Amino acid sequence: SAAIGLALGVPWSKQQQSVVSTIGAAMPSILILMLVGALASIWLLSGTVPILVYYGVMLLNPAIFLVACCIACAMTSVVSGSSWSTAATIGVAMVGVGRALEIPDGMIGGAIISGSYFGDKISPLSDTTNLAAAVTNTPLFDHIRYLLNTTGPSMLISLALFAYLGFGISAENGDVDVSDTLSAITATFHITPWLLLPPVIVLALIMKKVAAIPALFVGVVVGAIFAVVFQQDLLATQMAGQANYPEYRVIMGTLFEGVSVETNNERLNDLFSASGMRGMLNTVWLIIAAMAFGGVMEATGMLNRIMQSVKSLANSFFSLVAATAGTCIVTNISTSDQYISVAIPGRMYASLYDEMGYASENLSRTLEDTGTVTSVLIPWNTCGAYHAGVLGIGTFAYLPYCFFNLLSPIMTLIFAWFMIRINRTDHALDSSHSRTV
């Protein structure tokens, strides 16, 4: 891409400036990713992840797990406004519970992501929700209310599909014997309800609109303290051979290098293993490479050329919505960034929606239904790379089961085709006999 840009007369200095700018915009995401790696490892060592698995295995069964997982992640994401934070907290715990119940990874990831992105779309605390409303000049709560028309049916269908899958798993696996799993956890970790406090603290901070980086950092610090206080026997095992401040060395090594806890249950040994910050470096590399590519595409004008080609196809309301949806998805694929896939099409099509007499909430809803939710389905997108790294489940493994994310673009096209609840502008209603259906 850079070579083509040079051939077209775009100097390297301009391309480099764009690359640095786009990577800079991704730095908060990279810092969050590194903190999540540290958080997952220290919460494992402290016993927080094991106790969530312990209670989850006791209370849930394969038949209801996927539905319960999706609902729990949806509720968390609504109150926190962040699919990323939801995946890093409730999502990580649900992966552990699901694997203990012998549920396929792809289904677990699909349920987590479907619920997380439901909240990411409709929460007034969500950055993408506010971004979609801002770039289209739509009042925030008008945008959310209008968004529920397509989001509600998509979520209900998703829950029905997860229920169907759950009953199939239950029939196939029968009653899963979890006694060995529970005994292995209690034999390795000191189990106490106090270990639930770290995720509660992090979720409380997020609900109070504390920024993600300091909130996750607090979670790391609390996890380190709890590891020293509650897991002395486990720490003693990990400290074998360490000299000079062994507890400090174990804690810092857990944050950076990760930890692997051996139990008498082989299935749990894989589950109770985390790679710390180092394990996130492949994902960080992918994000940097993707953002560099997006920066070159923008600087050379290739991205704008693609947008103009798509925009020229819009000559009816359905084609306008379809063009918007296609632009959002193409932008997600080509620029590897969720925010660009909302912001650029929002700026591109705002005047066109107004010229054709359609209210701005039609555009803001389409941006969310297609831009926000599809980012996580693309492996090289920052969202896809993040969730695959945090959950430990490959993008193509969870993609077929992200029912909510797959249904949302289809639902918005169905509403556009049949003109269901399509708001018109006042000047459009005054100049024709059209009305809102």
Q: Could you report the per-residue pLDDT of 360-389, keeping only the tens digit for each?
A: 999 999 999 999 999 999 999 989 998 998
Most confident of 42-51, 144-153, 163-172, 276-285: 144-153
pLDDT of 437 above 60: no
What does the DSSP assignment read for 55-104? Answer: HHHHH--HHHHHHHHHHHHHHHHHHH--HHHHIIIIIHHHHHHHHHTT--
Instruction: Report the alpha-carbon distance of residue 405 to residue 407 in Å, rounded.
Output: 6
% of the chain exceeding 90 in pLDDT: 34
Q: Could you report the per-residue pLDDT of 58-105, keeping only the tens digit for each?
A: 777 788 889 999 998 888 787 667 788 788 777 887 888 888 888 999
Q: Could you report the per-residue pLDDT of 199-229, keeping only the tens digit for each?
A: 889 878 877 878 778 888 999 999 999 999 9
Instruction: Report the alpha-carbon distance of residue 329 to residue 375 in Å, rounded.
Output: 8
The whole-number pLDDT of residue 417 equals 95
Task: Return the DSSP state at 273.
Answer: E
Instruction: Report the alpha-carbon distance of residue 374 to residue 353 in Å, rounded.
Output: 22
Task: Return the DSSP state at 300.
Answer: T
Average pLDDT, the chain: 85
Q: What are phi and psi of 274, to 5 degrees?
A: -135, 150
The whole-number pLDDT of residue 267 equals 66
The pTM for the full model equals 0.72
Q: Could you report the per-residue pLDDT of 314-347, keeping only the tens digit for each?
A: 778 999 999 899 989 998 998 888 888 888 888 7
Read off the amino acid at residue 14: K
Instruction: Report the alpha-carbon distance of residue 344 to residue 330 in Å, rounded.
Output: 11
Instruction: Report the alpha-carbon distance of residue 251 to residue 33 in Å, rounded.
Output: 19
Residue 216 near residue 175 (C-beta atoms within 8 A): no
Between residues 172 and 412, which one has the greater pLDDT?
412
Q: What are phi and psi of 358, to 5 degrees?
A: -110, 135
Instruction: Report the alpha-carbon distance of residue 270 to residue 188 in Å, rounded.
Output: 14
Determine which of 71-80, 156-165, 265-274, 363-372 has the lowest per-residue pLDDT on average: 265-274
% of the chain exceeding 70 in pLDDT: 92
pLDDT of 168 above 50: yes
The whole-number pLDDT of residue 311 equals 67
Instruction: Report the alpha-carbon distance of residue 422 to residue 436 in Å, rounded.
Output: 6
The whole-number pLDDT of residue 177 equals 56
Structure tokens at 345: 């099409």
The whole-number pLDDT of residue 436 equals 42
Residue 111: band (very low, low, confident or very high) from pLDDT cuts 50, 70, 90: very high
The whole-number pLDDT of residue 4 equals 94
